Amino acid sequence: MTTNNILDPFAEIISHLQEVTDKQIDLEQLNNTEEKLRNILFQLQFELVNAQHQKNWEEVNKFELAVSECQLTLNKVRAAIINVSIIGINPKNRAQMQQILEEIETARKTQVYIDLAIRLLGFLRRLFL
């Protein structure tokens, strides 16, 4: 998997969340986020299978954690869609989003994307509480 295949959807999700002006994420944005997370999940599952075939157990552990985090985050987004809950974007979240976008750029250069992906999924899941 190339770094951009996994980081680009995260950057898009975070960028769209940063653009929320009325402090509420609408249903269309939630649906878009769900679709991007499903694609990320498929990519992570594919990489997990590859790591298992290569018997790279360190990578297997990381990808298992990433798959689990992605599934949990996806469930939170789906719950938000079903409940049509209001998700607040506060200044602290906005500052963290900017930091995440900077970390994505760094990860693209250093190729250390899976650890960042795990942290990003945790952040996104916290938004959809």
Average pLDDT over residues 5-27: 78
Whether 66 and 7 have beta carbons less than 8 Å apart is answered as: no
pTM over 0.75: no
Average pLDDT over residues 35-42: 93
The residue extents of the domains of the chain are: 3-127
117-120 long-range contacts (CB < 8 A, ≥24 apart) are 117/6, 117/7, 117/10, 117/40, 117/44, 117/66, 117/69, 117/70, 118/62, 118/65, 118/66, 118/69, 120/10, 120/14
Report the b/e string of 85-109 with b at 16+ CB within 10 A: eebebeeebeeebeebeebbeebbe
User: Which is it for the CA torsion 45, 112, 56, 118, positive or negative?
Assistant: negative
- pLDDT tens track for 39-66: 999 999 999 999 999 999 999 999 999 9
pLDDT value of position 84: 58
